[in-house]
Amino acid sequence: MTTTPAPADLTALTVGQELARTRHELTRDTLVRYAGASGDFNPIHYNDTVATEAGLPGVIAHGMLTMGTAITGLLDAIADPAAVRAYTTRFTHPIPVPATGSVTLEVVAVVGALDAEAGTARVDLTAEVDGTKVLGRARATLSLPDAA
């Protein structure tokens, strides 16, 4: 389920403005599909024994899958993916994915700062699973259109 308003007017952003709020269900099937698309077949993403022997709580989602999924709501909200000039994060907590069922990644994208001189906006993304932050300092820099 995704709650995204009509495309954001990038000429009228305000600090604190929520641009997107999304929920993404991750399953083992999601991990298999991502592994096939990315070529990342590290067994910690599909084998519980290997994952626990590595000190993990079980099979975990790929970091890049998490990062890519987290920004999708913002991309939908701005309706212009080319406006994203940078996107960075730190991986703060792995996302265990159960053998059956799913886990929900919840993401909120909020305007954190505006730089009129540079013509950019910083959007802060909060990504959580069951109330635990899984990404830290997740930030996207948007290029703002010239105000006419």
Six token digits for residue 38: 């990315």
Structural contact between residues 77 and 20, judged by C-beta atoms closer than 8 angstroms: yes
Residuewise pLDDT in 10s, the chain (148 residues): 555 456 889 999 999 999 999 999 999 999 999 999 999 999 999 999 999 999 999 999 999 999 999 999 999 999 999 999 999 999 999 999 999 999 999 999 999 999 999 999 999 999 999 999 999 999 999 999 985 4
CATH of the domain at 134: 3.10.129.10
117 within a domain of the structure (yes/no): yes
33 within a domain of the structure (yes/no): no
**What is the model's pTM?**
0.91
How far apart CA 50 and CA 138 sit, in angstroms, is: 29
Listed residue (58, 75, 62, 90) closest to 22, CA to CA: 75
Structural contact between residues 107 and 20, judged by C-beta atoms closer than 8 angstroms: yes
What is the total count of domains within the chain? 1
87 within a domain of the structure (yes/no): yes
51 within a domain of the structure (yes/no): no
Give me the domain span that covers residue 12: 2-26+61-143
